[in-house]
Structure 1
Amino acid sequence: MCPIASQLLGKINVGGSRCNPAAAALLLSLCLGFSPSMATCPPDCLCASDIISCSGRNLSVLPFDLPSYATRLDLSHNALTVLPVDWIPQPFDRLSTLVLNRNSIEQIEVNTFMVTPHLLHLDLSCNRLTVLNSSIFTGLKELKELLLFGNQIIQINPGAYSDLHSLKKFYLSGNRLTDFPLGLYEEPGGPRNLTFLDLSSNRLSKVPVQSLLSLTRQSGIYLQENPLDCDCAFLALLEYWMWKQYRPLVDFRGEYPCKDNAGPGTNCSQQAVSDMPLETQMYQVQLGKWLWLPCVGLAMPDQDELHVFWVTPRKVLNSSADDPSDHLIVLPNGTLEIRGALSEDSGTYGCVAARGRHYLPHEALEVSVVVGNLSAPSGSGLSHRSGAEHFNTAFTTLASCVVSIILVLLYLYLTPCRCRESRGGASGGCGGRAFILCADPTEVESGQRRSNGKRVAFLEPQAEDSNIDGPKAPVIHFGHVTTEGILKNGSRTVEQTLIDTAPVV
């Protein structure tokens, strides 16, 4: 034991009694080289390994000696009103979860979260925040989830989302927002891939429909329980979402007041053609040519305030606000005009309009566009495929032939002949229908040579127990043919002439 700890323990021992366990733990931590702020748990908190909980202690100020080894810090259900920049004396490099809900926090100073650079989960719900100032979340570059529901937020200043690059889920329900926080998606430094945004139970009356059609391709935006206006643009959005089976709408379909009807004073349902199912349509246009796409399921009404949106492969267009210089234009009757088609214009196009009916998922509110010669690319692809198929067929045939030849050669030269010699010294016939040369070279008389004119005769097999000396009638008439030792038995020699002695049956 170190000398300082021994002296302190000697001073706190009274009457030979044991020292205080807490004091002993403090002295032991000093002896091991840990500071009190790192090794001790605050009196109003509970510590379990790397989790520190100071919840429900009615704290108006934060404990100054919070251990920095924590990965989760719970300060919920207290009386905190301000979160100052120096709320902890040293950085919490390991802290990943900070819970501050159910306090009375009204103000968060700038750079407050610079001491928690690796924070992933921040819970500030059920406080009294009214304004999100610029740079309020500076330093939270790794934050994944931010909970701000149950506050009184009425304004979000530009730059409030700076450093929230990695934010995936953002809970803003139960506040007093009247404007959709579009800067969350457009401001530089904000979230790059936000997949969840909860804006339910606010005071939104209008939403940017054109922007939502683009944003909801990759994220879920919840808008239920807002006093949304029942205009044709919003109804068109709801119809399109229902056809797409958009989960935020499908799960809370009973909490959208404009879901089933347009409400008083609207006249959007007269644009529908009929209740006939809509089929998938495909259009083809050459490069540089013009193409007109009528809105699926709509007539050509003559209305000045027709709200039609076209979801194109690159962006979303609106019939009431278009750039005349663009080569994609939505005409007043809802038709999409493609001026000078480009190759990148190929893809799926969806017409979003208030048709006044419910569409089933198998019906088609989208059309397909192919830019270029449809027959040429397909023919070219067919020729490529045919060439590849022909090459594969030829290669397979050639390989099969080579393998067959190799197998035949192996059979000819490596398979032993089943010729057996008879008791009289003459060789017997091959037992089976074959074309193997079975003659014994020793049977060829001395001085005789092979004939230059080679012939191969296929002869019937001879039974093993047949008389080899008996007369034999050839099955095939050969005429006067010179054989080269291909005989049925060993009694005949080279240069022997075969004479047909019996008619062929």
Structure 2
Amino acid sequence: MRPTASQLFGRTKIGGSSCNPVAAALLLSVCLGFPPSVATCPSYCLCASDIISCSGCNLSVLPFDLPNYATRLDLSHNALTVLAVDWIARPFDRLATLVLSRNSISQIEVNAFAVVPHVLHLDLSSNRLTVLNSSVFTGLKELKELLLFGNQIIQINPGAFSDLHNLQRLYLSGNRLMAFPLGLYWEPGGPHNLTFLDLSYNRLSKVPVQSLLSLAQQSGIYLQENPLICDCALLALLEYWMWKQYRPLVDFRGEYPCRDVSEPGTECSQQVALDLPLETQTYQVEPGKWLRVPCPGLAPPVQEGLVVFWVTPRTVVNSSTNDPNAHLAVFSNGTLEIRSALMEDSGMYGCVIARRHHYDPTESLEVSVVVGNLSTTSTSGSAHRGTEHFNTAFTTLASCVISIILVLLYLYLTPCRCRESRGGVSRGWGRRALILCSDPREVESGQRRSNGKRVAFLEPQAEDSDTGVPKTPVVNLGHITTEGILKNGSRTVGQTLTDTSHVA
């Protein structure tokens, strides 16, 4: 039993109140045998190949018949206020770039981006967003770049960026954030591959210095033009970043507080750094042993309450927490203690502290730690070098022997040998080639001499033939010059080169 039209499109009153014109038109086209028409580009939009631009059209809702073949959709400079679940009539499976900037969007419903699952670049800048709720970007698993600058965001709820596994660049500049969104890096499902974070022009007064020392090794974090409190921890961070030539700080150095680290006015104004040039020191410890490493350039006594950070190959620790069971600990005087050293502890260690001192890039604020037995390492290294020298000498000797053998084979097993014969016949080894080696003294006086070698290739014949066929006479080419042979270009291969007047 086939379904009726009312079952397909809902109840439609023909003689009375309501009628769905879209459903009626679709039903009529199906009944007449015509397929439904493909959505066309609206007259107020610009459609070029796979790009659709409806920018600056003062749209508060999107048109129903918007084509969904686009890979780039520009809806900027309109009047959109809410992104509901059905804000687009049909899914855009090919869409890679979605531009929604310069609208009035203040609310985004959960699963609003499920209709654009393959978007790589999303621009929501210059809107009126204030709070980013949990799972607001659900469905954008392939998103790589998200632009949120120029909004009014004051709060980012936990899980707001969940599902953004591939997000690499996030722009949050020009908002009203007062807390660093640290959950971006540790929340489950968050953008753990984030390599660029712009938090400039917000309202941050403090930042997690210890976390930034660790995060800055894998991503660029921009903090310029924030009202940051210039305490000792922040000063230590900025000094260390400047010594490391951290690009987000170097490029915008004039837009950070504590611009001149030599001017007084902060609580850590005590001179705690030595004036001597710093060189990289190396410390060695055997596995399982304990090692204490002093902070390079730090002159005792250390100011009370001054926090010292150590950037290790695996984590960042500071002197404000002292756990007796921890693997790494920092004392109040800045000394780092490695307890029960492991092989993974080997690497470069940086001591970060507010020194109020300009450091030359050639000076080192880091030390090298080697976990292992130096004697064993030295012995194994010597043995390895000895093995390499032996292998090199053996290879050289074998090459020389092979070269000598090849030279001897060339000298004693040469395929062509010249032997003088009264009959003028010279048989080469293997009888495959005949080389006529004439002696000038045996040439007749009336014979014209020729410059250059004279070679004739003959067909091989049996040495002792019983057929009785006479052997091919030797051809004397002494009177034929090389110039004459070259000029006779009409002679074909296999033609007999004989002269009856000179046959022996």
* TM-score when normalising by structure 2: 0.74
For the structure 1 residues 302 and 351, does the alpha-carbon distance in structure 2 shift closer, same or farther, using more than 3 Å as the test?
closer
Any idea what SS the aligned residue of 2:114 has? helix
| 2:176 match | 176
| 1:86 match | 86
For the structure 1 residues 253 and 414, does the alpha-carbon distance in structure 2 shift closer, same or farther, using more than 3 Å as the test?
same
For the structure 1 residues 67 and 263, does the alpha-carbon distance in structure 2 shift closer, same or farther, using more than 3 Å as the test?
farther
| 1:396 match | 396
Letter in 2 for 1:143: L
Deviations 1:425-479 (A, max 9, x none): xxxxxxxxxxxxxxxxxxxxxxxxxxxxxxxxxxxxxxx99xxxxxxxxxxxxxx
| 2:271 match | 270
Letter in 2 for 1:267: C
Any idea what SS the aligned residue of 2:238 has? helix
| 1:71 match | 71
Q: What's the offset of the Cα at 1:422?
A: 9.8
Deviations 1:380-400 (A, max 9, x none): 122122113212312321342
Question: Are 2:331 and 1:324 equivalent residues in the alignment?
Answer: no
Any idea what SS the aligned residue of 1:270 has? coil
| 1:494 match | none
Any idea what SS the aligned residue of 1:42 has? coil
Give, in whole Å, the separation in 2 of the partners of 1:182 and 1:33. Answer: 57
The percent of aligned pairs where both chains have the same amino acid is: 69
Letter in 1 for 2:66: L
| 1:128 match | 128
Q: Give yes or no for contact 1:133–1:157 (8 Å, CA) kept in 2.
A: yes
Q: Give yes or no for contact 1:135–1:160 (8 Å, CA) kept in 2.
A: yes
Choose 202-211 or 391-400, whichever is displaced more. 391-400
Q: What's the offset of the Cα at 1:340?
A: 1.6
Q: What's the offset of the Cα at 1:272?
A: 1.2
Give, in whole Å, the separation in 1 of the partners of 2:138 and 2:75. Answer: 21
Give, in whole Å, the separation in 2 of the partners of 1:268 and 1:319. Answer: 19
Deviations 1:290-341 (A, max 9, x none): 1111111111324331111111111111111243211211111011011121
Any idea what SS the aligned residue of 1:267 has? coil
| 1:156 match | 156
Any idea what SS the aligned residue of 1:227 has? coil
Question: Are 2:242 and 1:234 equivalent residues in the alignment?
Answer: no
| 1:348 match | 348
Q: Give yes or no for contact 2:272–2:299 (8 Å, CA) kept in 1.
A: yes
For the structure 1 residues 31 and 186, does the alpha-carbon distance in structure 2 shift closer, same or farther, using more than 3 Å as the test?
farther
Within 5 Å, which residues of 2 pair with 1:459-478?
none
Q: What's the offset of the Cα at 1:93?
A: 0.1
Any idea what SS the aligned residue of 1:57 has? coil
Give, in whole Å, the separation in 1 of the partners of 2:306 and 2:260. Answer: 20
| 1:95 match | 95
Letter in 2 for 1:149: F
Give, in whole Å, the separation in 2 of the partners of 1:90 and 1:263. Answer: 63
Q: Give yes or no for contact 1:55–1:74 (8 Å, CA) kept in 2.
A: yes
Give, in whole Å, the separation in 1 of the partners of 2:36 and 2:374. Answer: 75
Any idea what SS the aligned residue of 1:112 has? coil
Question: Are 2:152 and 1:140 equivalent residues in the alignment?
Answer: no
Q: Give yes or no for contact 1:161–1:190 (8 Å, CA) kept in 2.
A: yes
What is the RMSD computed on CA atoms of the aligned residues? 2.5
Give, in whole Å, the separation in 2 of the partners of 1:63 and 1:349. Answer: 59
For the structure 1 residues 32 and 289, does the alpha-carbon distance in structure 2 shift closer, same or farther, using more than 3 Å as the test?
farther
Letter in 2 for 1:277: P
Any idea what SS the aligned residue of 2:113 has? helix
Give, in whole Å, the separation in 2 of the partners of 1:40 and 1:186. Answer: 45
Give, in whole Å, the separation in 1 of the partners of 2:404 and 2:59. Answer: 91
| 2:21 match | none
| 1:185 match | 185
Q: What's the offset of the Cα at 1:86?
A: 0.4
Any idea what SS the aligned residue of 2:159 has? coil
For the structure 1 residues 400 and 256, does the alpha-carbon distance in structure 2 shift closer, same or farther, using more than 3 Å as the test?
same
Q: Give yes or no for contact 1:118–1:142 (8 Å, CA) kept in 2.
A: yes
Within 5 Å, which residues of 2 pair with 1:299-310?
299-310=299-310
Q: What's the offset of the Cα at 1:221?
A: 0.4
For the structure 1 residues 63 and 408, does the alpha-carbon distance in structure 2 shift closer, same or farther, using more than 3 Å as the test?
same
Give, in whole Å, the separation in 2 of the partners of 1:341 and 1:396. Answer: 44
Give, in whole Å, the separation in 2 of the partners of 1:195 and 1:33. Answer: 53
Deviations 1:366-385 (A, max 9, x none): 11111111232132122122
Give, in whole Å, the separation in 1 of the partners of 2:241 and 2:33. Answer: 63
Give, in whole Å, the separation in 2 of the partners of 1:402 and 1:250. Answer: 61
Q: What's the offset of the Cα at 1:100?
A: 0.8
Structure 1: where are the runs of 5+ without partners? 1-27, 424-463, 466-505
Within 5 Å, which residues of 2 pair with 1:312-461?
312-414=312-414
Q: What's the offset of the Cα at 1:32?
A: 12
| 2:280 match | 280
Question: Are 2:225 and 1:247 equivalent residues in the alignment?
Answer: no
| 1:56 match | 56
Letter in 2 for 1:264: G
